Amino acid sequence: MVVEGGAMRGIFAAGVLDCWLHHHYQPFDLVLGVSAGATNSVGYLCRQPGRSRKIISRLARTRRFFDPRRFALGGHLADVAWLWHESRKVLPLNLGNFDEACPLLVVITDVATGQPRYLQASRDNLDPLMLATCALPLVYKAMPEFEDKPYTDGGMSDSIPVAEAYRRGARDITVVLSHPLGYRKKPSRLPWLTQRLFKDQPQLAQTLLDRAKHYNAALDFIESPPADCRVQVVAPPPDFAVGRLTMDKAKVDAGYRMGLDQGLAHLQRLGLQEAASA
């Protein structure tokens, strides 16, 4: 399974994965998660339905996490370190279940090279790895270090690591997207600004400028996978109204319900009527 990120848009995947947990659907041999998709995957592999929803719809909507005034004064717009550590405190993880689950590969972006790395999460590296994969450039001012090297949000270099799943031998891949089907990412309209903002990290700047190309290439793979590979997609409906930084509770709650509905529809497409009707 591949789970895309997208900050608050992750509420959709939270609904999908909660639905599957409620119906005891955990058939995967490997999970790849990016940013909010990685944190959602942790809750899924710990078998804790409702946890990711509470993080996104409650903690992430507080001023302690999202604060435009703090950002204007030079601080974080979204304090992902606080969010992750606060969630660990108020919503403790069932790490016993996590230890027994299939491997979770987390995507992070190497600041020096601009390239993605795919690292297996464990209880020993979970905290720094989650911080690194969620640290959106500029929105979170710091570049978190992992293994003594600076990293940033995994979605900058590989937002939908479906091709990586294929390279690792996966031939039946389920992808949970954060945008409705038909979405395509547009190139940056201000490439000079990206180059200026990241003048000290030129490889990262180039990765950001190439992001739309790489993102759309992943969508091309999903739409036309190799002949020996099946890709199944669970995506938000066209009226999904949650953006990266949507704080409106009604929209976030509606996005979660859409995830529940689409998760159930996926089970029904698979012919798991008994599970879907339980």
Q: How many helices (H) and strands (E) does the chain have?
A: 13, 8
Please identify which of the residues 52, 153, 158, 159 carries the catalytic annotation.
153
* 153 in catalytic set: yes
Please identify which of the residues 35, 41, 87, 159 carries the catalytic annotation.
35
> Which long-range contacts link 259-262 to residues 24+ away (Cβ below 8 Å)?
259/11, 259/12, 259/13, 259/14, 259/15, 259/16, 259/17, 259/18, 259/19, 260/15, 260/16, 260/18, 260/19, 261/15, 262/12, 262/15, 262/16, 262/234, 262/235, 262/236, 262/237
* 35 in catalytic set: yes
**In contact, 177 and 15? CB cutoff 8 Å:** no
Q: Is the dihedral of CA 98, 174, 110, 200 positive or negative?
A: negative
The tokens describing 207, both together, are 């990765």
Alpha helices in 49-199 (DSSP H): 51-57, 68-72, 80-90, 95-100, 126-134, 162-167, 191-197
The residues annotated with a catalytic role in the active site are 35, 153
